[in-house]
Structure 1
């Protein structure tokens, strides 16, 4: 739901949203994610593609620890398909449930007097509206503020009319959109420093106050309070915090792919010896990578590498918000044919509503091939069958599996969504302009390292050590993480208190 239509790379990037985690002076921040998967798999791929199209646009007062957010998952993600978590904004703080979107930059929430904003949600969460006049620490952002001018360059902000108020207008691929103005206010955080102590912290960030929503944003079935942009442009929260030395310029996630869902999101670099890295394509608004070839069972497919080259109309994007995965049209048929030929003796091949599917009573791990996406720098992303197939139905011991990769007619865009990203660590190293990954059991803890101002690396053992449950059912529950924190207390400069 989060890829904003821009000039340059004009692509509908579906992005589901998770939440913010911040950090003091380079210490890692941690967010635990939940996602529940349905017990049946009867959702049609057309529905998933439709949802993807809709979504394809201070300083901390404590010195170290892991920032934890209470989170809730959603049922039936093949229909809803989002990670969301609670952020607290303003003074006194107020709760807002937001998605995290790596395909856009801005954090925005619904504001009072909002036209078209839903008031109820099928996700069983209490929706709220932000009122700048009710927060003692809120201030409006004017067109003369430097941060507004920076946002104009990336099309994330605009100055309209004679109001001198920094504003925004975001339009999404399905015609839905939101508009509003920017405010500066506090985001409140819980820093867990051991299994029995939590300290309160806050940081000043600029975020959007939505006064109008249209299209699917107005629907209540999967409504949330807003969108948390986690992109790399200057108005993203990670950019705001890292530019002031409050957070490292790297974040990582590990999304569970089993039926229990869940995952980990940290501000910092997850330390894992098997991580491989590939460089980001420079000067792109999204997380573009140089995909060079695709292999099936170790054999490179006969696809012209130019099909994957980044330009205004094509390229490969890592997008944690897309449910499925999308392959450039010129590569799609060759890819599907290679899968089909490999399993032709073990499955019954069928086409359902335009999708290549297979009927089998065997385990897909036993009969379907490994697929390798080969990137610049020698980094390969190896996909198991469950990383490129979607189970559609099962009758009398026979299961129908369909290729989860889709194609966008007339476009050379490749989008790697949750289908591909799950059960792996992904590291977005913005400081070094690279992305890394490794296969991982995302139900276990991870080690996180960040470079501090002293030049040393700090390590935190962070992980999903308890079930968060429903935020709505347990609104006051604080999820304690059992962690070991080794840290150096750093000097804090009062000049960081404001932008």
Structure 2
């Protein structure tokens, strides 16, 4: 089993964009993948919660569509922000086609399909506020591109995932509508995705895997604008069209991944981190997204009077969805009102209450942690997620010693659906163990070293204090089995020895 230790530099004060890769040649265990996250938005830029709700509704439209639902380490650098005061998203660069070309795609655990804008494309954006090039995929310019025919079983799988595939000129086509009225239309193709695996400290291996993805030839609504535009979406969901599912079925990547999001950065790994106190709750097998059984909410240890059937899961209700791409959090209507009322009642003597665009807000002159209560979300199996005030409130403004905090939990746009977004998930390792069909979490300093196992069933290992290592919050990996690795980063070039294993720090 290969073990990796990682420490992430604070991305607010650096431009680190790293990727770490190695291959265990002698064993068949899957290895791990690490991704660095960086802020792409100014910290002093704040927007109204109503705008964040509009942004989240775009994501949820994709989520609420009909749903019937030798290995090595591969690294991607991620940029983006979960900050609830900006239109947060995370994106990465992938290589597709022959010859390979770069495409920037949004990381999305709330959908399954990888798709990119294609030539010719109607109303596709031509620029992005993220200062990245917008590139259209051209099937005719890739020697390894081939369309997916209507008779291909992949086309049938696509129809089960989105209930939107059809046939045109013997090509498997799709139309995906979103909740805000925007859409992407196109056809499915098969082409190579190019991945780099490191064998030694002087030799790397370029590996290509055939994947099926969407070739979007028309985009409407928000997708057609340059505000937050990227080349497409990289779906990391649970269905067969997910990139995780496709790479796992080919033996290229393990069937487990995790993320830890913090202020200004974070980490995403393919593999399972071994961190203290991770607790798990089962995933709902009948749902295509990462849905769990929430059964009660406690405020300062007192259980709210909410009928448990409110959180029930059936054909019409999706339960509680863990979605790393949603900025805020959303409670089903029957739970939202008692939740807000209980919070407001508990602080009524210490705050000045106000309303902003229909959202409850509170003006305070002391620490939010000293005024507002702890919230506990209780799940099936005894797993509880404890939320600080900063995990359910959003700081809207701060002037002259007074702060205005607004409710970060919103009323769900869909009946019977609760969604936990990044506001709630921050400063926690969230583990998606697809082999065991469970999801887990633990409070964590996302900038500290963490052990990541290539075997999702592993539960043993050692956590190393970052203060023991010169440089502190740099990106580090260490192999227990003396496999040389290459560390790729974007600041300086350093070479140092660590416990007998060589790491090379290079510019991307």
How high is the TM-score relative to the length of structure 1?
Answer: 0.83
Quick check: 1:332 aligned with 2:324?
no
The answer as to whether partners of 2:73 and 2:198 remain within 8 angstroms in 1 is yes
For residues 291 and 110 of structure 2, the distance between their equivalents in structure 1, rounded to whole angstroms, comes to: 11
1:144 aligns to what?
A: 151
Q: Which runs of 5+ in 1 are unaligned?
A: 1-19, 58-62, 466-479, 490-499
**1:162-215 deviation digits (Å, cap 9, x = unpaired):** x11122111111110101111111112233568887543322211111111011
Would the alpha carbon gap of residues 117 and 172 (structure 1) be closer, same or farther in structure 2, given more than 3 Å must change? Answer: same
1:115 aligns with 2:122: yes
C-alpha deviation, 1:100, in angstroms: 1.3
Written as runs of structure 1 = structure 2, the 5 A alignment for 1:7-406 is: 26-36=30-40, 38-40=42-44, 42-56=46-60, 57=62, 63=70, 65-73=72-80, 78-155=85-162, 158-161=165-168, 163-191=169-197, 199-256=205-262, 258=263, 261-314=264-317, 315-406=319-410
| Cα distance, 1:170–1:416 mapped onto 2, change above 3 Å | same
Q: Is the Cα–Cα contact under 8 Å of residues 460 and 483 in structure 1 kept in the other structure?
A: no
Counterpart of 1:422 in structure 2 is 426
Is the contact made by 1:194 and 1:481 (CA closer than 8 Å) also made in structure 2?
Answer: no
> 1:482: Cα distance to partner?
2.8
CA contact (8 A) 1:297 1:369 kept: yes
Deviates more, 1:385-394 or 1:439-448: 439-448
**How many Å separate the matches in 2 of 1:87 and 1:458?**
32
State the alpha-carbon separation in 2 of the partners of residues 485 and 185 from structure 1. 33
Residue 21 of structure 1: CA displacement?
11
Within the candidate set 456, 462, 482, 2:476 is matched to 482
CA deviations on 1:318-337 (whole Å, 9 max, x unpaired) are 11111000011111111111
Distance 1:245 1:267, change over 3 A: same
The verdict on how the C-alpha distance between 1:344 and 1:36 changes in structure 2, with shifts beyond 3 A counting, is farther
Contiguous gaps of at least 5 residues in structure 2: 1-18, 63-69, 468-473, 484-508
Q: Distance in 2 between matches of 1:325 and 1:195?
A: 44
How far 1:84 sits from its partner (Å)?
0.8
Q: CA deviation at 1:71?
A: 3.0
Residue 246 (structure 1) shift: 2.2
In structure 2, how many angstroms separate the alpha carbons of the residues matched to 1:285 and 1:448?
26
Cα deviation for residue 74 of structure 1 reads 5.9
- In the alignment, the residues of structure 1 paired with residue 163 and residue 197 of structure 2 have an alpha-carbon distance, to the nearest angstrom, of 30
Please report how far the alpha carbon of residue 248 of structure 1 lies from its aligned counterpart in structure 2 after TM superposition.
1.5
Q: 1:474 — aligned with what?
A: none
Question: CA 1:67/1:207 → structure 2, altered by over 3 Å: closer, same or farther?
Answer: same
| Matched position secondary structure for 1:154 | helix
Query: Does the Cα contact within 8 Å between 2:38 and 2:266 map onto a contact in 1?
Result: yes
The answer to whether the 8 Å contact 1:459/1:485 transfers is no
| Structure 1 residues 389 and 30: alpha-carbon distance in aligned structure 2, compared to 1, 3 A threshold | same
- Distance in 2, matches of 1:482 and 1:305, equals 45
What CA distance in whole angstroms lies between the structure 1 residues aligned with 2:293 and 2:185? 34
Give a deviation string over 1:130-165, Cα, whole Å, max 9, x none.
Answer: 11111122222212222222222223662323x111
Contact 1:327 1:413 in 2 (8 A): yes
1:67 counterpart SS class: coil
* 1:53 Cα deviation from its structure 2 partner: 0.7
CA distance in 2: counterparts of 1:179 and 1:279, whole angstroms: 34
Q: Does the C-alpha gap of structure 1 residues 75 and 274 become closer, same or farther in structure 2, counting only changes over 3 Å?
A: closer
RMSD: 3.0
Deviation track 1:247-306 (CA, whole Å, cap 9, x = no partner) reads 2211111111x2xx1111111111112100000112111111100100011111111111
Aligned residues: 446
Indicate if the aligned counterparts of 1:23 and 1:29 stay in contact, CA closer than 8 A.
Answer: no
Q: What is the alpha-carbon distance in structure 2 between the residues aligned to residue 227 and residue 464 of structure 1?
A: 34
Distance (whole Å) between structure 2 residues aligned to residue 166 and residue 427 of structure 1:
34
Tell me the secondary structure at the aligned position of residue 338 of structure 2. Answer: helix
The SS at the match of 2:155 is helix
Conserved? CA contact 1:38–1:76, under 8 Å: no
CA contact (8 A) 2:259 2:430 kept: yes
Shift of the 166–22 alpha-carbon distance from structure 1 to 2, 3 Å rule, reads farther
Q: Give TM-score scaled by structure 2 length.
A: 0.81
CA distance in 2, matches of 1:346, 1:186: 59
Give the whole-Å Cα distance in 2 for the aligned partners of 1:388 and 1:311.
27
Q: Is the 8 A contact 2:21 2:75 kept in 1?
A: no
